[in-house]
Structure 1
């Protein structure tokens, strides 16, 4: 009989685990403000999943670059975020973000979630979930 794979049930992240995820998002946000979608793509595990109300798509690198650049727009970007990481295990974390994003003169309050996957010892963006796309 084969063993059941480790589910991660009962995993409790250390302060360092949480800090590592929050620092990852600080870098991600800085790249978003700088509109450096190439560098953002370097922090992703492709294909990435984009999920919204009643729909899900897989994005390759090209689609990610195009759509993220369009979302960031032409104006100055400012982000204020509160993030709540929920670890599935040591290598998977789902992060809920409550944020106000301002692009130029337009501000929007949003809630979204991101799944990060640890691969090769570093966190990579894999899935984004947001209602209303």
Structure 2
């Protein structure tokens, strides 16, 4: 019997700091509804995994235009008061791949909404980009 290649990876402090900085920038763009800047932080085609109102799992791939158009529709105008409070648990698969689980409270115009989601991020040339978004409830839009 041969053992598989050792794929265990212990993230460094720099790995975590760079991922935290990436999410801080992304959250700032999201809070200000800067959709184009959010799109700049993705690796397209973007994979999406969700479920629909019938309880079925769904998946799709979006190009940049689909992401921008959908986020403009979902997020609306930048005039609303939007804030995020998130707790993130990253699992680094390597120095260039991470799955990040997020528990988030998004507050829009004083109304709080809790969300749970996961993202798969890849790092290329030292820069993180999200490549897969996983969150329930988006399936009817895919």
Unaligned runs of 5+ in 2: 52-56
Deviation at 1:108, TM superposition (A): 1.0
**C-alpha separation between the residues in 2 aligned to 1:46 and 1:109?**
27
What residue number does 1:9 align with? 7
1:31 maps to which residue? 29
* Deviation for aligned residue 1:8: 6.5
> Aligned pair 1:103/2:114, yes or no?
no
Tell me: CA distance 1:37–1:7, structure 2 relative to 1, closer, same or farther (3 Å).
farther
- The answer to whether the 8 Å contact 1:37/1:65 transfers is yes
- Structure 1 outlier segments of 4+, above 4 Å: none
Residue by residue, what CA displacement relative to the aligned partner does 1:66-103 show, whole Å, maximum 9, x if unpaired?
11122223322111001111011111001000000112
Question: Which of these residues, 39, 42, 46, is aligned with residue 41 of structure 1?
Answer: 39
Contact 1:73-1:103 within 8 A present in 2 as well: no
How many correspondences in the alignment? 128
Q: TM-score, normalised by structure 2?
A: 0.84
Aligned residue for 2:120?
A: 115
Residues 32 and 8 of structure 1, relative CA distance in 2, 3 Å threshold: farther
Gaps of 5+ in 1: 1-5
CA displacement, residues 25-80 of structure 1 (integer Å, 9 cap, x when unaligned) = 00000000111111111111001011102000101101100111222233221110
Q: CA RMSD of the aligned region, Å?
A: 1.6
